[in-house]
Every structure is written in C-alpha cells, then in structure tokens.
Amino acid sequence: TMEFSDRIQRVEPSATLAISSLASQLEAEGEDVIDLSVGEPDFPTPGNIVEAGEQAMEDGHTGYPPSKGVPELREAIAEKLQADGLAYEADNVIVTPGAKQALYETVQTLVDDGDEVVLLDPAWVSYEAMVKLAGGDLTRVDLAPHDFQLEPALADLGEAVSDATELLIVNSPSNPTGAVYSDAALEGVRDLAVEHDVTVISDEIYEQITYGVELTSLATLDDMYERTVTINGFSKAYSMTGWRLGYLAAPEELVSQAAKLHSHSVSSATNFVQRAGVEALRDTETEVGEMVEAFHERRDRLVALLKQHDVDVRTPDGAFYLMLPVADDDQQWCEDALEQSHVATVPGSAFGAPGYARISYAADLGRIEEAVERLVDAELL
C-alpha cells in the first residue's frame, strides 16, 4: 500500500464538493438547476484577447517561455501596477498559471513548519490548505460579527498578530463576502505589520470589480512596499478563468526565492496565454466596464429583492459574492436549497462563516430573480 505524506493528509477535500456533485446529479436527472455557487464570471473572454491568443499560437509562441514570464507581459504588468501607484518594475513580477499558483508559491516561500499565519474569516478556501501544506499554524480573526468589515475588527486583529506572526493574508474585495476594506482598515494592517515585522499577502484578484468605492492597494501605503506581496490575475477581471494566468509582484529578494519553486514546479505560465494577457492589459477597458456594470446591476437587484423579503444583508462593495444569513446549519440549508428549490449555493462554513450561504451573482439577472423567488416559495428565505 502507498504511504501518503503528513503534508497531504493535513488537507481536507473541498467542502463544496458535496453540493456541486449533488447539483450535477440533479442536472443529469434533467432538473433546471440555478447555479449561484460558481466563482467565475459568466461572460466569454473578450474577443480581442482570444484573437491575440490565436495569433500568438500562429506566430509560433508555443515553446517554453522564460520561467518568470515573457518580458512583454512582465513589463505590461509593471506598467499596470505603476499606474495604480505601486513601485514595481518588471523584475518584481513572476507570471504564474493563475493567481492561485502565485499564492501557493508565496506561502511556500515564506512559511516554515510551525510558523504562524493570520487569516481574516470568512476567507477563500484555499488559503487554509496552502498554509497547512506549508506546515504553518493558523490564527483566525472573525469578521462576521463586524458586518464582514475589517476596520471595526482591527482590535481583534491586534490581538491575533504578535511577533510570532510570519504572514497575514488580506483579500479585498473579498471572496466570499464582497467586502472592500477601507483605507483606515488597511492603515491598521500596516501599523500591525510594521510593529511586528509581518509580511502581508494582498490578494487583489477582484480589484477591478468594485461598485462606486475606491480601493487602495496595500503596497502603496508607506512602509508597506517592502513587506507586501501583491497578488493579481486575469481570471475575474477579463473573464479568463480557464486560461490560467496570474502573477505576484514583490520585492526582488522574494521574487528570486519564489522563482526557484516556480521554475522547479510549473516552469512557467503558458507561452501564448501570456501573449493574450498583454492584450488584456492593453485594450479591454470597454469590455471590463460592461462586465462590471452588469455585476453592479445584478448586485443591486439581488440586494433589493432580499431586502424586500426582509433578509438582513449588507450591500457588498465588490467582487460578485454576497453572504446570505441562513439557518444555523448552513450545510443543511444549502442542501435544502438545492433539493427543494434547485438553487446551488456554497455553505458559509466552508469559508469559516457558519450561518451563511455564499451566493455568487455572476449569473443572468433573470435567473437571479428566479432563484430568489424559488427560495421564497420553499420558505427558505
């Protein structure tokens, strides 16, 4: 028999698996399932990006690219970050197959066995798994009692962060809550990071998807450039989830360490995909604007419908998720919603927020309206 590593056995399979297999089973039985569980935009990749990818293949960009990324893309990413007020140069960037790989490499580069990592709950599911795979210990700060906002939770964060803390992971706009953290909250993070010499991962993958609020990039704050790893990617902003393209940007000392893991594992992101990424950064303002506008309209409609049914929700300021307060047993609620209403959502406990279900409104407006109607009919709302 095979003997599996302690490392891999520390990690649980995804808690959302049960729901998604039940959803596919219902669909296979011919049921009309409204899927509000997915973490991806429901739009096609903009045509000019697809064409750039096709052209790159025809032009023969099908061999190994430089490990850290093709120079044109690293340069374009640096220019984008500079336009956001960040001081990164192309040499500060590693292009990865998805932001997920950038996060994985960063955690592996920073976290040793027994190192303490602080997470803000509810948190995206993979942070915990990445930290456990690296051998780190988690300390969790719960934002649920604070309407998922960080600013009112700074005192709690202050108690969680100590000189023993190696790393703090911040994700704004947040998956799963859609919260966008205020400047005061980020300054609070900065003060703690400086005081206790903590490195901070700022996962900004939903950065372009905000609704009338300004988002400050953490590494633009004084004293943060040298202790921040900025993570971003193409999946959400450009509807490119399956292309697998993302990046980390960090001081060169981190880049040169992470580059070792990068080159010994994935080697690089796909060559022609990176060329399409240049086009995404160069010429997609209109398409991105239209997608964000559609998300905005859906958010407004969803929140209005929920309020109409006396559901107490806070309007999320970014991403395309909303945390719906449900029964104490959120796993059961999600199963009921799926079985009785054929509406798929994700239990909040998967993100460290029991008592909630995560709704993704990256779905057609009419389907969102119908989902609420079905849940009301089944007396689940």
Q: Which is nearer to ligand PLP, 97 or 136 (CB)?
A: 97
Min separation Cβ 321 and ligand PLP, Å: 9
Min separation Cβ 37 and ligand PLP, Å: 12
Q: Which is nearer to ligand PLP, 175 or 182 (CB)?
A: 175
Q: Which is nearer to ligand PLP, 179 or 221 (CB)?
A: 179
CA distances from 46 to 50, 52, 100, 238, 320 (A): 7, 10, 22, 7, 19
Min separation Cβ 45 and ligand PLP, Å: 13
**Chain contacts with ligand PLP (rule: CB under 6 A):** 39, 98-100, 124, 171, 175, 203, 205, 233, 235, 241, 246
Min separation Cβ 218 and ligand PLP, Å: 14
The Cα–Cα gap between 242 and 246 comes to 11
Please give the DSSP secondary-structure letter assigned to residue 47. Answer: H
| DSSP letter for each residue of 217-267 | -GGGSTTTGGGEEEEEESTTTTT-GGG--EEEE--HHHHHHHHHHHHHTT-
Q: Which is nearer to ligand PLP, 100 or 190 (CB)?
A: 100
| DSSP letter for each residue of 158-170 | HHH--TTEEEEEE
Q: Which is nearer to ligand PLP, 20 or 241 (CB)?
A: 241
Cα pseudo-dihedral 130, 274, 204, 304, rounded to 10: -110
Structure tokens at 146: 């604070």
